[in-house]
Structure 1
Amino acid sequence: YRDMAHHGGIFCRGFVQDWSKAQVYTVQNGRGTRGFKSRMNGDWVSGPETLSEELLGQNRRDFYEDCISRKLDTDPYWQSRMPDWSKVKTPLLSSANWGGQGLHPRGNFEGFVRSASEQKWLECHGIEHWTHFYTNYGLQLQKKFFGHFLKGEDTGWSKQPKVLLQVRHPGEKFVERREGEWPLARTKWTKFYLHPGDMTISSAPQKTASSVTYAGLGDGVTFLTEPLEHEIEVTGPIAAKLWVSSATEDADLFLVVRAFTPDLKEVTFQGALDSHTPIAQGWLRCSHRKLDPKLTLPYRPYHTHDAQQKLTRGQVYEVDVEVWPTCIVLPKGYRLALSVRGTDYVFPGEPGAGLETLGKVWTGVGPFTHNDPRDRPPAIFGGDVTLHAGPDRAAHVLLPVIPKK
């Protein structure tokens, strides 16, 4: 639910639609001679029988309809697909991609932290989704893990750090570092406060009340730091606390953590799929703001998604937004930014190229778009949204700043 189909309660149209058509329907049993041939034995991958498109359609679930029509986490459809972390006790190696926003990394981190396994390891890397799985770095890591546990070989795994990070820098530079836990124990959790009056974000709390309004289905607003006075590393989960009012009964929040060079050119990264992926993203449908008090942590809000609590027009609500874990080291003079939008992030430069299998041109979020009018009707989500801040509404984003060892 929350990791793929309904980010923060908002339906992810792009992935649900494109993935099923490209990766499932193309290999459905019954495609026969209209499918693919195995390079191993020459057999038809989708079986020897060739069925009509009509019969193929009758033989499969409508994945898109299954996902969009089940709007709450408590639906049996989603509950039957969720793990019970207390029962996960086998040794595990969880490999996360910093740029995988929208699909895998949330589960990578949650699984590592919450599973009952006594023998568990976390590895975090960058660039494309598939690269490290099939090149020497990833193959050697997997062989060490499986050789140790499945073959009883002395692979050196007993000396493997619990957490292995490829620490990300601008320009697709990565520096390997060993750690002992996640989140990192030495994290300096730092609040950066939003100042709507001058659209800045800083470590100084608000002294006066101010607000800013944007269109509920529009590009939103961006809060920018002053040039950094020294290099900063941000590694870990991120949380935002906002005070929001809407001209309608609901509002969708798209949060984007961004980086800019000293001359205000945006820095993006090769993500798991999209070649112009920002530092981090988070989402929340305000009617899904209810928190689970047992699972919520200061740095990782956990929403129940078990009820829709509509907004009263014009009333101000306190909301917490989960922003997925990330890693970036920014040099002195760079700037951090937080965008609060009413729609998916769009890289302002040249669009990235999509994978041929999905047949799309991507513009910053890959296939993870949220634009189905059935889920986001303009009458409900198109009204003005106002962000409020002040001494009694200390709107901020909580960043995991990592001191140097």
Structure 2
Amino acid sequence: MSDFEYKFIPPHHAPDERGGKPPAYEKTILDGVIIEKDVAITLRDGVTIYADIYRPENENKAAPLIAWGPYGKHGHTQYSVNFPKAEVDDSNMSDYTAFEAPDPFYWVPHGYAVINVDPRGTWHSEGRATYLSPEEAEDFADVIEWAGTQEWSNGNVGLSGVSYLTSSQWRVAELNPPHLKAINPWEGWTDTYREVVGHGGIPETSFWEYLPGRWGNGLNQIEDLRRETRERPFFDAYWQSKSANLEKIKVPAFICASWTDQALHTRGTLEGFRKISSDEKWLYVHGRKKWAHYYEAESVEMQRAFFDHFLLGKESDLKNWPKVLYEARDAYYQGEEISAKEWPIEGTKYQSLHLGDGTLETEPTPPVTKSYNSTNGESVTFDHTFTKATTLVGHMALRLWLSIEEGDDMDIFVAIQKLDAAGNIVPFAFYAQFEDGPVALGWLRVSHRELDEDASTPFMPVHKHQRELKLMPGEITPVDIEIWPSGTRFAAGESLRLVIQGSDIYDYPKPSVYARHESLRNKGRQTIHMGGKHDSNLLIPILPQ
């Protein structure tokens, strides 16, 4: 299937080191729920993997909901202990809820069967593990068809879960297995290289380094993600194989994104909605913390309205939904949900703000330069104060003219912030756990500046990441930087701030789980050229009032 050869290593942890017990089929009944532990499922090549199944005790056929991820079907996460800053209300789920997965003791009484799977090569499942790969997608498709043909099943299979459990949905939905009737991607990347491994071509050195240890529990060989990352700095066939073919997806989809997962899921989830070919698709975008929001009662009821319609054939509130519902944020956990017909939002007008001497102007500015030390955290900022209420929803793009004094490359980090009328930074929820985040982020390793002209738009530059174009000291070079989508309201007198520096603008003490970039190429002072023939500018998406 692949035109490259995987590299495998022994697992990072044995299952018993992480609470995984050897498979032993067991069937019990609790509060009207049949619980089947370690159900063996045989894949097309004869490999056996294991699943836990929760289904109704009554004789009614149930709609299977599958949660597919490497974190362990047995593992209930007590978020308040493991991720206290995530603000997940533990009372919103039972002790049988797997990590980032639907709660079986909510869904089963409503006519569903929840299936938590240990994919190939993870935990006690047989075979060698690969992650978000075409091979894994085929395994997932086999399990969908298995679930759709069990005697207790009504034949209508849905998919649910957050993060990896969403990214795996995109991959299997490309294959359109016959019994797959609905998917609910709830925040999950679609392009592993651009959205996780190398933001703007700058290697991500913390979260991606952490994930193999979380995923690599088993008895057999696992894909060597760390080695592949070291040896594949460009977007090649390997990374292409971990990028979803979204246009192939035709199944009905309820997609949830957030503005708050900058550097992880925001971009990919919204690209998922934009690109899938499904005739029936809905988008919901919030500004909250992702795990907490997935399990909140209102969110779960939205999920059920969608699945009730497509999996159970029930009348639900889905018929009243707008195609797009998004939160226009004012501040942390403050905002208004607004309906729209499409994404990007219909009627969006793009306006250029021209960089000047610390300002962002609606008219071109006179020639000026600003320089900063790229290695000590020094930043340069540019502000624009709105004279009337303005709502910015969508993608931003930054065009800069740059030069260096030494070295042959630059790593640029960009943040968009909101300032209140007094000039104070307005914080937002961020990366599932934090309360002081930005409006949006962007990055670029300047040697990766070559654009994919076919994929790019004026508001969303997409880089090829297939070769390096090094810099010469003193040479002034134009670059285009993608800034991830966001949705924020500014009152008259409030300001937008553009921050540029040579390292992560937001960071948190380790071991906090977070995206970091610690392998940088910056040297000395770097200069931004503005005005005249070097019109550095920020393109912003303005909604009609």
TM bucket normalised to smaller: 0.7 to 0.9
Query: Which residue is 1:88 aligned to?
Result: 249
Matches within 5 A, 1:157-236: 157-195=318-356, 198-206=357-365, 208-236=366-394
Residue 19 of structure 1: how far off its partner (Å): 3.1
Matches within 5 A, 1:124-135: 124-135=285-296
Query: Which residue is 2:448 aligned to?
Result: 288
Counterparts in 2 of 1:382 and 1:254: CA distance versus 1, 3 Å: same
TM-score, with normalisation over the residues of structure 2? Answer: 0.62
How many Å separate the matches in 1 of 2:421 and 2:325? 31
Matches within 5 A, 1:102-117: 102-117=263-278
Matches within 5 A, 1:244-323: 244-247=402-405, 248-271=407-430, 272-323=432-483
Query: Which residue is 2:198 aligned to?
Result: 6
Larger RCO of the pair (alpha carbons < 8 Å, separation 6+): 1
User: What SS does the corresponding residue of 1:311 show, helix, strand or coil?
Assistant: coil
How many Å separate the matches in 1 of 2:524 and 2:419? 30
Alpha-carbon RMSD: 1.9
The answer on whether the counterparts of 1:193 and 1:202 sit within 8 Å (CA) in structure 2 is yes
Residue 223 of structure 1: how far off its partner (Å): 3.0
Query: Which residue is 1:48 aligned to?
Result: none
Query: Which residue is 1:121 aligned to?
Result: 282
Alignment deviations for residues 272-320 of structure 1 (CA, whole Å, 9 cap, x no partner) = 3322211100111111111111111010001111111111221111111
How many Å separate the matches in 1 of 2:533 and 2:275? 34
How many Å separate the matches in 2 of 1:4 and 1:273? 17
Residue 240 of structure 1: how far off its partner (Å): 0.7
How many Å separate the matches in 2 of 1:163 and 1:199? 36
Residue 184 of structure 1: how far off its partner (Å): 1.2
User: What SS does the corresponding residue of 1:388 show, helix, strand or coil?
Assistant: strand
Counterparts in 2 of 1:231 and 1:239: CA distance versus 1, 3 Å: same
TM-score, with normalisation over the residues of structure 1? Answer: 0.82
Residue 202 of structure 1: how far off its partner (Å): 1.8
Q: Which runs of 5+ in 1 are unaligned?
A: 31-55
How many Å separate the matches in 2 of 1:298 and 1:215? 30
Query: Which residue is 2:158 aligned to?
Result: none
Whichever residue aligns with residue 457 of structure 2, its letter is L
Deviates more, 1:86-95 or 1:291-300: 86-95
The answer on whether the counterparts of 2:393 and 2:487 sit within 8 Å (CA) in structure 1 is yes
2:234 is aligned, of 72, 79, 98, to: 72
Query: Which residue is 2:212 aligned to?
Result: 20
The answer on whether the counterparts of 1:3 and 1:107 sit within 8 Å (CA) in structure 2 is yes
How many Å separate the matches in 2 of 1:330 and 1:96? 21
Whichever residue aligns with residue 221 of structure 1, its letter is S
Residue 220 of structure 1: how far off its partner (Å): 4.3
Counterparts in 2 of 1:291 and 1:371: CA distance versus 1, 3 Å: same
Alignment deviations for residues 100-159 of structure 1 (CA, whole Å, 9 cap, x no partner) = 001111111111111222222111012212112111121011111111111211113233
Count of residue correspondences: 351
Query: Which residue is 1:391 aligned to?
Result: 532
Counterparts in 2 of 1:172 and 1:156: CA distance versus 1, 3 Å: closer
User: What SS does the corresponding residue of 2:503 show, helix, strand or coil?
Assistant: coil
Deviates more, 1:320-329 or 1:81-90: 81-90
The answer on whether the counterparts of 1:168 and 1:327 sit within 8 Å (CA) in structure 2 is yes
Alignment deviations for residues 43-80 of structure 1 (CA, whole Å, 9 cap, x no partner) = xxxxxxxxxxxxx8xx4444333223321112x32121
Query: Which residue is 2:94 aligned to?
Result: none
Whichever residue aligns with residue 283 of structure 2, its letter is L
How many Å separate the matches in 1 of 2:371 and 2:398? 18
How many Å separate the matches in 2 of 1:241 and 1:214? 18
Counterparts in 2 of 1:360 and 1:149: CA distance versus 1, 3 Å: same
Q: Which runs of 5+ in 2 are unaligned?
A: 1-192
Alignment deviations for residues 238-257 of structure 1 (CA, whole Å, 9 cap, x no partner) = 11111111232110111100
Residue 185 of structure 1: how far off its partner (Å): 1.6
User: What SS does the corresponding residue of 1:392 show, helix, strand or coil?
Assistant: coil
The answer on whether the counterparts of 1:11 and 1:68 sit within 8 Å (CA) in structure 2 is no
How many Å separate the matches in 1 of 2:457 and 2:303? 32
How many Å separate the matches in 2 of 1:94 and 1:220? 39
Residue 226 of structure 1: how far off its partner (Å): 5.0
How many Å separate the matches in 2 of 1:94 and 1:140? 14
The answer on whether the counterparts of 1:291 and 1:304 sit within 8 Å (CA) in structure 2 is yes
